[in-house]
Amino acid sequence: MEEKDIFAVLDIELEKVRSLEGSMSIVVIPMKYADKALGYKREVDTAVRYKEYLVVGLFGMEADQASALFLSIPKGIAVYPYDGKDIQALFFEATGRLQEMGSAPWVKRLWDSIKETKAMERLEDPESRFISASFYQFLALLASRPHDLARISADMNEMDRHWVKDYLPHGLAQSLDNDTCSQGEQVTDLLQEWQYKERMELKQEKGKKTLRKFRNIEHFFTLPSISQEIIDLASDVLLAASKMARIIEKDPVLTSRVLKVVNSAFYGFHRQIDSVEHAIVILGNDEVVNLAFSIAIHKILETISAPHAQRLWEHSLLVAHLSQWLGPLMGYKFKDKIYTVGLLHDFGKIVFLQRGHFISDTGNPSSLEDLAKEEMDSGLSHAEMGAYIAERWNLPSGIVDALLCHHLPGKAKDTALAVTVHLADIIAHTGSIHMDMVNNAAIRFLSERKGPALSAEMVSKAYQETLSRVKLVLEVQDGT
């Protein structure tokens, strides 16, 4: 096909777009990917072969949408009207971009599509935000093939390599630095063979189904009413002790449990504390609110089998208390959120457990493989499920975000909060900070953080102390 033919065909399309005052993307794709690209093209689009390229005109599309449409295909994109007014200028712009890019930038865009949830947020249903929040299947595939991962990484510039690593456990991220071979084509083959786009679609489909199935189960999504009031209280720092006490005392069972814990060896007071107001005066608002909230929320665990509930509850309390200790060391200033995030971080597992879905072993920190398995089984991980529930409970968006990112702290809006809970989770499971298990973004945060160093001795001491204190709370609770 001659040069003037392609320009003639696309010029007609561009004329239509121009008259509608719309936009149009011109995508230039190497011929070897033409069959695949034609499979993804929409009916409304025009495709023309030109020399070693397939040139596609996409109506009403911006660059990011066009990029998402041909996700795993190397391409150059130019957009009317930003990149030029006529078809020749657009074509040369797009071809130039394709040649400039080589193979690495499309891999970057692939990562971008995992990192960014923008495309999904455009979808109408609110659940999509949680389903697309991460893509552990893909991370686990790459983790199981470090050589391929090294190839992707080697193709990238320094900055891009940083954020790819932010998704991985530190041990794996470190191993990337040792491999320098660079063969972008093989990465293309890997992704094609693994069918990235299809799998992503399948995950989203499954995730939506799971959430729709659970959406109407009221008891999951109705926070015990007293907990809702307690959460509201937590944000009101000036609330008088008497008013707060009155709200807690509306529930006599809750009140008696709060007083039992307050009078237990956990707090070690010699004098009997006989009212919630008295407890607030002695312990402070935050402590009593946290305590009342955990006792109220414990009800939700009654929906799963006792051994699971017990293990999850002990772990949740441990992470909540360790987070409270760790937060200030990580430079996190807001005490009210940190306990709640620690307590609820794995609550997504309750839903999966109740319905017989796969969840990662509650006794170990979740690995990428575990999270990928959860995703394959339900379309979403327990972190995504937990965040979804928290949003349905109308918890503050900072809490929802931290729950969503407790295994990928680099993605969180508030890194200090997500890193704190991520580290507390690993400490709660292992008694120390296992550098290989910690997410690389968290390690980077630790190395850039200015503040007191976190020694192994400090961590181990805090773990032992917190564990024995949590055991005291559990003893009191079991006795009620």
Residues that bind Fe ion (CB under 5 A): 346, 425
Report CA Rg, the chain.
26
- Which residues are registered as beta bridge partners of 54? 29, 49
Contact of 365 with 425, CB cutoff 8 Å: yes
Find how far residue 352's CA is from the centre of its chain.
Answer: 17
Nearer to Fe ion, 336 or 346 (CB): 346
CB atoms within 10 A of CB 79: 21
* Closest distance of CB 366 from Fe ion, Å: 5
- Angle CA 14–15–17, to nearest 5: 65
Which residues, other chains included, contact 419 with Cβ-Cβ below 8 Å and sequence gap of 6+? 330, 409, 412, 441, 442, 445, 446
Tokens for 12? Answer: 């007609």
The least CB distance from residue 351 to Fe ion, in Å, is 13
Q: Which is nearer to Fe ion, 153 or 381 (CB)?
A: 381
CB of 87 to Fe ion, least distance (A): 51
Closer to Fe ion at the Cβ: 266 or 313?
313
Secondary structure class of 44 (helix, strand, coil):
coil
> What's the closest the beta carbon of residue 115 comes to Fe ion, in angstroms?
20
Q: Which residue, 108 or 337, is less far from Fe ion as judged by CB? A: 337
Kindly state the helix (H) or strand (E) to which residue 56 belongs, with its residue range.
strand 53-59
229 vs 346, which CB is nearer to Fe ion? 346
What burial class does residue 423 get, using C-beta atoms within 10 Å of its C-beta: 0-12 exposed, 13-18 middle, 19+ buried? Answer: buried
Nearer to Fe ion, 384 or 425 (CB): 425
| Residue 379 beta carbon to Fe ion: minimum distance, rounded to whole angstroms | 17
Cβ at position 311, least distance to Fe ion in Å: 11
Residue 291, both tokens: 């305590």
**Closest to 14 (Cα-Cα) out of 26, 3, 2, 5:** 26
Q: How far is the CB of 98 from Fe ion (least distance, A)?
A: 41
Residue 336 or 425 with smaller CB distance to Fe ion: 425
Q: Closest distance between Fe ion and the C-beta of residue 219, in Å?
A: 22
The total number of residues shown for the chain amounts to 480
The nearest distance, CB 422 to Fe ion, in angstroms, is 9
Judged by CB, which is closer to Fe ion: 6, or 418?
A: 418
State how far the Cα of 311 lies from the Cα of 293, in Å rounded to an integer. 19
Burial status of residue 241 (CB atoms within 10 A of its CB: 0-12, 13-18, 19 or more) = middle
- 198 — alpha (psi -120 to 50), left (phi > 0) or beta? alpha
In the structure encoding, which two tokens stand for residue 209, read together? 């189904």
Eight-state DSSP code of residue 194: H
